[in-house]
Amino acid sequence: MKKLLLDTKWIGVGLAIIFSLAIAWITTSKTSLFVKTVTPYIAEEAQAFLPITIEDGAIVEPKDTIISKEYNLNNKTIYVILNTEVDELSADEIKNSGLYFSRKYMYGVTPQKTEIRSLQDLPNITVDSKMFNEGVKWLETYVDGYLFAVIFVMMMAWIGFAVLIYSALSQLLLGRVVSPAFARTLRITTLGYLVLLIIELGTGFNINILIKLVSLVLLNYLINKQFYHVEK
């Protein structure tokens, strides 16, 4: 173990890459299947709202119109409402989860929060059925590649940051007992951290940061003492 694993250069990076690739592939596969399942339905339902013309930060077409749809997703009702009779909607009009449009604003509502975006940020544009369907087709075609790349990069960045922090803390806390090489601490911490991530993903249980730190410090101590006999 000492020669083949813990002293192998870039073993931690290699395992992190493999882990990130696996997560990116699994997540992308599930998301792609969902997207390709729901996009035809979304494209069909969107026809009721199209075409929409935005000029100078306001919806000018359809004019003075109210279109309301509601959908049941996982036993939750989601509303999609377009109301171009008013410039903005009141709190009572956007109290349910969903997506709302007034003449000048867009509202995204969830049980946790409400986000408001001004249409002033959008360019003058007309979204008709043809443009919308082309967008849906593009999403179905390219979502896999873009999503895979984004998830992979994010996972690598997250793992790298976490491992550096845990390794630095482990090195600091072990300094009074053992004096391991920091490169070895990085490898051991990477291995341990990936195992903890796999346990979290497999069980759905979120392991506390303090528990992770104690586990990784203990792992570093036991491996250094058992295989390297490093001791102060």
Phi-psi region of 195 (alpha: psi -120 to 50; beta: other; left: phi over 0): alpha
Per-residue pLDDT reduced to its tens digit, 60-112: 998 999 998 888 877 788 899 999 999 999 988 898 899 999 999 999 998 88
Q: Where are the domains of the chain?
A: 2-28+144-228, 51-127
Do residues 52 and 62 make contact, with C-beta atoms less than 8 angstroms apart? yes
Sheet strand arrangement including 66-73: 66-73, 76-83, 98-101, 105-109, 114-118
Burial class (CB in 10 A: 0-12, 13-18, 19+), 49: middle
pLDDT at 3 over 70: no
Give 9 or 102, the one with higher predicted confidence.
102
Per-residue pLDDT reduced to its tens digit, 16-28: 999 999 999 999 9
Phi-psi region of 107 (alpha: psi -120 to 50; beta: other; left: phi over 0): beta
| Residue 222 confidence class, pLDDT cut points 50, 70, 90 | confident
